[in-house]
Structure 1
Amino acid sequence: MTVDGYPREHPGEQVLTALTADDIDTFRAAVRGDIVFPDDESYDDARRVWNGLINRYPALVVRCSGVADIIEAVAFARRHEVPVAVRGGGHSVAGHSTCDGGIVIDLSPMDGVRVNPKERTVRVQGGATVGDLDHETQVFGLAVPGGGASDTGIAGLTLGGGLGHLSRKYGLTCDNLQSVNVVTADGEVVTASQNQNEDLFWALRGGGGNFGVVTSFEFRCHEVGPDIATCFIGYSHEEATEVLRYFRSYAADAPEEVTLTAAYARVPELPEFPEAVWGDPGLAIFGAFAGEPAAGEQEFQKFRDVAEPLVDLSGTMPYTDFQSRDDAFNPPGRHNYWNSLYLNELSDGAIDQIVAAGERAPSVYSNVGVMQLGGRISQVDPGQTAFVHRDAPFLFTVDAIWDDPVETEENIAWAQESIEDMREFTSRGPYVNLSGVHEEGEELLRSIYGTNYQRLTEVKAEYDPTNLFDHTRNIEPAS
């Protein structure tokens, strides 16, 4: 039997056969959420993740209904020495939210959001998405910065730092974190904040899912919306170099309210775009203005004056509509390989390389991009949180996206080659949430965390000394 063209094999069956009926029955009785096994009808749906490139077969998937289920799942994995992967509510492009032959602790049923408008705070469960969060906070004209798509998971986004359309004005998602509740490797429930378990709180702001299962996040909110000025201006590929050079000069002293990205890609076959240019290569400048919409519309006019746009989807729109606008560009099930590098500068040579990489993309869905950083991001000391690349002015990104599994090798090779070619222009590593799929090792981790790496290994040794939570961009505990 096959699933999606892949041989159906269950590496987890060996784990299951090592367990007694009493082991399974005891676990079932202790958990209120659903437990999905390989022979269940819902197994193939339960094991799949958003990224079609990832095809793994866990022994069981625990769809947790609450914190008690998480504690039981962690205890079960520890007691029976089986691999553990934790799934939030979103993409998990690198595939860390699933595993072969282990237990997936699935938080996606835990998607509650509770807003305190008086205090301008919000409590978000670990399985919620950006869309879930925005839906509730916008009732009160509030938002938490982070994410560029509504189906992004809040947990992974925050634990990796959290870049988004409001970052230059209000910081990273993790910069707005006030406290978290965590189930640790020994099954203890702890709260981490500036005043409790401070070392854990430090590590969770950028250090990924290495330190436990975060069951809920409390964020500080900001007044945003309900309407926001947005930018999406597309140019022909002949104009790409000139527009990128203007983007560089504009970013040098742009107001903090502006967070923009330049992306080189092919025009998607979507009704929002003129059919005459479907499939043509080009450059898009997109983002938002975190301030009065009229001021934002005036600011984005500058990009219309650089070159004649092919398409202009800019305008004032509801914040929730803007946050979900990119969802249609990359639906679930496609194959994805995403990587990145922080740039020291956006030199002419780097711009030429970006355009060349975009021209070579083997898939019509793929893109290369440059995100404008700085602003509030750079005003936080690099040692204040685990997220270290505070002073980088730009982030270069490569998104390889394709449909046919036969094209996997070609597309990943293009993405990796594009990253290697850009290393000439930077001494930095990647953003942890965009750091490849199969890559691993201490060298990569040191490039991600820099001077914060050693401290992260020490926090890991304190909260997860046996490395139970190793299905992450894994930081091993200090010896």
Structure 2
Amino acid sequence: MRQPLGGTPLMVRSGGTSSRCAADQHWTLDLRRHQQFRYIHATQEVEFGTGLSMAALLRQLQAFDRAIPIGLSGLPGSGFVLTGGMGPLSRTQGLAIDHITKVEGVWGSGAPFTLNAEQAQLEPSNAAAWRGLLGAAPFLAVVTKLRLRTHAVSELRLRRGWINPSELPAVIALAEQWPESCSLQWTWGEMLEIYAVDCGPPSTPSPSLQALDPFLKACSGGGVQQVRDQLDLPAFGQYGMQTTTNAAPSGATRSHSEVLGRLGPVLTDQAEALIEQLERHMRQRPHPACRISAQQLGGATARIDPDRTAFVHRDAQWKPWITASWTPGDVEGRWRSLAWMERVNDDLRASCPGVHLAQLHDHLRGHQQELSEAFGSWLPELRHLKSNLDPEAKLPPL
């Protein structure tokens, strides 16, 4: 970090699932050798190197019957944690960043650091840096090691299947009445798949998944499945295909993509009009892999003070995201898909005004507006923090 770079920003690769792990005329810092793992029995925390994928981390934690909440895939690395970390268990257990207790790495200036939650509370000078690391770390530092609180592994219940797009508003309204132990995810590609998870106690399962009977009763295999833990959840968006969470479908066509995530409140009153808009966009999608998806938030994610982390949208109940895809090497196809993503984004903005920067888009038009919608009134303070910690702007710009 102290050496001059031929091109900035520096690209950083952990899990390798982001479009900004590499770029022409830029250096990539590959963290895959940071594979350390240590479970701390006394505090039930895990300390690990940021080269581990979420699946690899959970597999090692299984030996201790512990886990952290991950997303809908085990493929991402620590970028998933550092940019928020949302998944099917978020409503019960909170965001991944809410579990962080210690961070090690190197600031953009080249200065190494170790910072923990206690230091942030006791020393005001560290409070801003700590907040920045919890949700905006890619702009400030290269993180090499994390320590997180863990939870006991718990059995899950899953229900998934295809529905008609016209039924989605009713399913959303139903999910917005569910207890925190249940969450709804949906993804709309060739077909519209719903994916509902209940992480409540097995002894008292919620009737919420059974309430999906009117929508899934005609769907083959649409019953409730018992799942041992997060790693055993089937792949999201691939219902009816024989595949696992960490494997692509056999014969899948390779594509490149960009993903843009938004955040918003309950949708009940707006859902029908919004889904009609999205259905028009889906009819016009320029590539078969373009899709629109969403996952449910709220519950534990909303009980954290917005000023505590860089994730300021604590009132968000939904995170919809848009996947723009194209065939590798198809320059015109790329621009068509990105233009489609922008149009969908414009229609989502009214009902979902916030942005979740799970992927960085400093190379795309609209980056500045995304930053404003992601960090809100805290953005000037974040920019000031970056000027101190990354004065030569070697990391992604703000």
The bucket for the TM-score relative to the shorter chain is: 0.7 to 0.9
> Which amino acid letter does the alignment assign opposite residue 253 of structure 1?
Q
Paired with 1:359 and 1:311, the residues of 2 have a C-alpha distance of: 25
Q: Gaps (5+ residues) in structure 1?
A: 1-73, 267-280
Shift of 1:445: 0.9
Does the CA contact (< 8 Å) of 1:357 and 1:368 recur in 2? no
Change over 3 Å in CA distance of 1:111–1:401 after alignment to 2: farther
Aligned residue in 2 for 1:273: none
* 316, 334, 341: which one aligns with 1:408: 334
> Identity, % of aligned pairs?
24
**8 Å contact from structure 1 (residues 114, 124) kept in 2:** yes
Q: Which has the higher helix share?
A: 1
Query: What is the match of residue 386 of structure 1?
Result: 310
Question: What amino acid sits opposite 1:75 in the alignment?
Answer: R
Assess, with a 3 A threshold, how the Cα gap between structure 1 residues 228 and 354 changes in structure 2: closer, same or farther. same
CA distance, structure 2, for counterparts of residue 323 and residue 206 of structure 1: 28
- 1:264-283 correspondence to structure 2 within 5 Å: 264-266=188-190, 281=191, 283=192
Q: What whole-Å deviation, never above 9, does each CA across 1:287-327 have from its counterpart, x for those lacking one?
A: 42222246447431111233534343641123212176444
Q: RMSD between aligned alpha carbons?
A: 2.5
Of 313, 316, 324, 2:226 maps to 316
Q: 8 Å contact 2:7–2:26 — kept in the other structure?
A: no
Partner of 1:397: 321
Q: 1:342 aligns with which of 254, 263, 267?
A: 263
| Counterpart position of 1:130 | 54
Paired positions, count:
374
1:459 is aligned, of 382, 385, 389, to 385
What stretches of structure 1 move > 6 A for 4+ residues in a row? none
Give 1:88's aligned residue.
14
The residue number in structure 2 matching 1:29 is none
Q: Deviations over 1:177-223 (max 9, x none)?
A: 11100212343221122233332211011114111111101000011
Deviation at 1:362, TM superposition (A): 3.2
Task: Kindly state the Cα deviation for residue 150 of structure 1 after the two structures are TM-superposed.
Answer: 1.1
Aligned-pair CA distance for 1:412: 2.4
2:104 match: secondary structure: strand
Take 2:7 and 2:210, find their aligned partners in 1: how far apart are those partners? 59
One-letter code aligned to 1:342: L
Counterpart among 371, 387, 392 of residue 445 in structure 1: 371
**Deviation per residue, 1:217-240 (Å, 9 max, x gap):** 100001123x321222222x3xx2
Secondary structure at the residue paired with 1:312?
coil
Question: Is 1:299 the equivalent of 2:225?
Answer: no
Pick closer, same or farther for the CA change 1:434–1:345 going to 2, 3 Å. farther
Determine which structure has more spread, i.e. the larger CA radius of gyration.
Answer: 1
Q: Is the 8 A contact 2:290 2:325 kept in 1?
A: yes
Which letter maps to 2:228? P
The answer to whether the 8 Å contact 2:8/2:395 transfers is: no
Cα 1:385–1:364 change in 2 (3 A) is same
The equivalent of 1:230 in structure 2 is 158
1:432 and 2:342 aligned: no
SS of residue in 1 equivalent to 2:105: strand
TM-score for the superposition, normalised by structure 1: 0.72
Alignment of 1:39-438 (within 5 A): 74-77=1-4, 84-93=10-19, 95=20, 97-154=21-78, 156-196=79-119, 197-225=126-154, 227-235=155-163, 237=164, 240-242=165-167, 244-266=168-190, 281=191, 283-293=192-202, 295-296=204-205, 298-312=207-221, 314-319=224-229, 320-322=231-233, 325-328=244-247, 334-346=255-267, 347=270, 348-406=272-330, 407-426=333-352, 428-434=353-359, 438=364
- Identify which of structures 1 and 2 has the higher relative contact order when contacts are C-alpha pairs closer than 8 Å and 6+ apart: 2
**Is the 1:83–1:101 Cα contact (8 Å) retained in structure 2?**
no
Partner of 2:240: none
Shift of the 363–304 alpha-carbon distance from structure 1 to 2, 3 Å rule, reads: farther
Q: Which has the larger displacement, 98-107 or 380-389?
A: 98-107
Structure-2-length-normalised TM-score: 0.85
Distance of aligned partners of 1:175 and 1:443 in 2 relative to their CA distance in 1, 3 Å threshold: same
SS in 2 for 1:385: coil
Which residue in the other structure is 1:35 paired with?
Answer: none
Change beyond 3 A, Cα 1:234–1:316: same
Residue 316 of structure 1 aligns to a residue whose secondary structure is: strand
Q: Is the 8 A contact 2:35 2:51 kept in 1?
A: yes
After superposition, give the CA deviation of every residue in 1:412-437 in whole Å (9 maximum; x if it has no partner): 222222112223434x1321015656
Q: Secondary structure at the match of 1:131?
A: helix
Aligned-pair distance for 1:118?
Answer: 4.2
Q: Which runs of 5+ in 2 are unaligned?
A: 120-125, 236-243
